Amino acid sequence: MTGAPAQAPETRRLDAELPEGDDKHQAVEAMFDRIAPQYDRLNRVISLGQDRRWRRRTVAALGLESGATVLDVACGTGDLCDVLAETGYRAIGLDFSAGMLAAAHTAAPLVRADALRLPVADAAVDGVVSGFALRNLVGLEQFFRESARAVRPGGRVAALETAEPSSAVLRAGHHVWFRRIVPFVGARLSHDPDAYSYLPRSSAYLPPPRVLVAMVTAAGFEAVERRTFMAGAVQLITGRRR
């Protein structure tokens, strides 16, 4: 998940300690390799058991015909692949973390690959999905361009990601949960405090919603929509390939 320049400074402000470029690629890969064995269990705890529901809504938002081929980019252990298969799609999972692929539980075919260089021909698939991957990519714009290249005209993209509530009160509560409680719980259950300190802070890599929607549109998608769940703490970006 590397190979593209970092986003322009006006799109986001980063914590000085967050890595960028090749340093980010290496740090993220090593982190996911380490936490892979506990990843699924911690996802359930951190999301209060809602992550499965969000994945189902992500797949439902595709609205493709049964049998459609969908790439799950940064598939991790294969949760989204399983939902895709249950829905009647042909799922193919891609991830750059060997540790995640080794811990995967899905029956879908898996490929170790870079999200910014998808190993498929132009217009080869019907859809692309990702679950909580955007903030871990080095180049968001390149990822959306690659998704547009890989998806046939009329195909779909759906990207599930963290977000911040618009309400000041809800945002304050979200910060307590995401920035304090999640690192504490993650450190205790995974014995990897660095990883679960990084994950909440990594939301700083995400541009503002309007910029994110504009990126998807500029990459070659139309009817781009952003919807939120859990009082605005989770977002889903969808679009149709022009």
CATH at residue 48: 3.40.50.150
Query: In the chain, how many domains are there?
Result: 1
**187 inside domain:** no
> Which pLDDT belongs to residue 16?
55
> Residue 71 belongs to what H/E stretch?
strand 69-73
> Comparing C-alpha atoms, which of 235, 101, 94 is closest to residue 161?
235
> Contact 80/59 with Cβ under 8 angstroms?
yes
Q: Percentage helix, strand, coil, to 5, in the chain? A: 50, 20, 30
**Rg of the chain in Å (alpha carbons):** 17
Residue range(s) defining the domain that contains residue 162: 15-166+196-241
**172 inside domain:** no
**186 inside domain:** no
* pTM, entire model: 0.90
- Cα atoms found within 13 Å of the Cα of residue 63, Cβ hemisphere only: 9
> Which pLDDT belongs to residue 6?
36
> Residue 190 belongs to what H/E stretch?
helix 182-190
Residue 177 DSSP one-character state: I
> Which pLDDT belongs to residue 209?
97
> Which pLDDT belongs to residue 15?
59
> Which pLDDT belongs to residue 12?
46
**4 inside domain:** no
> Which pLDDT belongs to residue 3?
37
**61 inside domain:** yes
pLDDT (tens place) for every residue of the chain, 242 residues total: 333 333 333 344 455 579 999 999 999 999 999 999 988 988 888 898 899 999 999 999 999 999 999 999 999 999 999 999 999 999 999 999 999 999 999 999 999 999 999 999 999 999 999 999 999 999 999 999 999 999 999 999 999 999 999 888 888 888 898 888 888 888 888 889 899 889 889 999 999 999 999 999 999 999 999 999 999 999 999 999 99
**Residue 102 CA to its chain's centroid (Å):** 19
Beta-carbon contacts of residue 16 (< 8 Å; ≥ 6 apart):
none
The pair of three-digit structure tokens given for residue 45, joined into one six-digit string: 């705890």
**3 inside domain:** no
